A = this chain, B = another copy of it.
Amino acid sequence: MEDLAKTYFFEGITDRERAIFEGAITLAAIRHQFVGVPICKDGKIVKTLEAAIKKTMLLQPFKKDVIVKIDYDLIKGEKKHPYDYESLKARHMDIRVIVQYGRANAILRMRYVPELDFNLMYVEKAEEVSST
């Protein structure tokens, strides 16, 4: 698909940089949009939320795939009483965003990293396929 926005980017941006840029936007969008949603240890609810995050976020430009895993072993509630649920936290999620832009592709990830005690976003892989 044609990139109507290309002229707004600085000249000299590489395809790999652009792929990283587009993936980072989606990672941060997921984190800041969905943290706070009510959630509990119910597979059907969790699956529906994962599907909604995936399908809506795939709309953002140049996404090839968005893989969202909510680890419900970490979630407390089983809805035995009205207050037995909790809110989605970044810590509950392991997300991979796969981007293709021009000749480049990139895998971006967010997951909780115990060593840093931080929900880290990082670039797992980025490559530009050389034209031959």
- Interface contact B116-A5, CB-CB below 8 Å: yes
- Interface contact B45-A48, CB-CB below 8 Å: no
Question: Which B residues touch A113, using CB under 8 A?
Answer: 5, 8
Number of interface residues of A (CB under 8 A): 66
Question: Which B residues touch A103, using CB under 8 A?
Answer: none
Produce 1/0 per residue, A69-94, CB < 8 A to B: 00000001101011101010110000
Produce 1/0 per residue, A107-119, CB < 8 A to B: 0000001001110
- Chain B residue with Cβ nearest A124: B10
Whole-angstrom distance between the Cβ of A53 and the nearest chain B Cβ: 8
- The answer for the CA separation of A117 and B85 in the assembled complex, in Å, is 10
Known contacts A45-B59, A61-B82; is-contact A36 B33 (Cβ 8 Å): yes
Question: Is A25 in the interface zone, CB < 8 Å from B?
Answer: yes
- The answer for the CA separation of A116 and B14 in the assembled complex, in Å, is 22
- Interface contact A123-B56, CB-CB below 8 Å: no
- Chain B residue with Cβ nearest A60: B38
- Of residues 22 through 80 on chain A, the ones whose CB sits less than 8 Å from some CB of chain B are 22, 24-29, 31-40, 44-45, 48-49, 51-53, 55-57, 59-62, 76-77, 79
Question: Which B residues touch A117, using CB under 8 A?
Answer: 76
- Interface contact A120-B83, CB-CB below 8 Å: yes
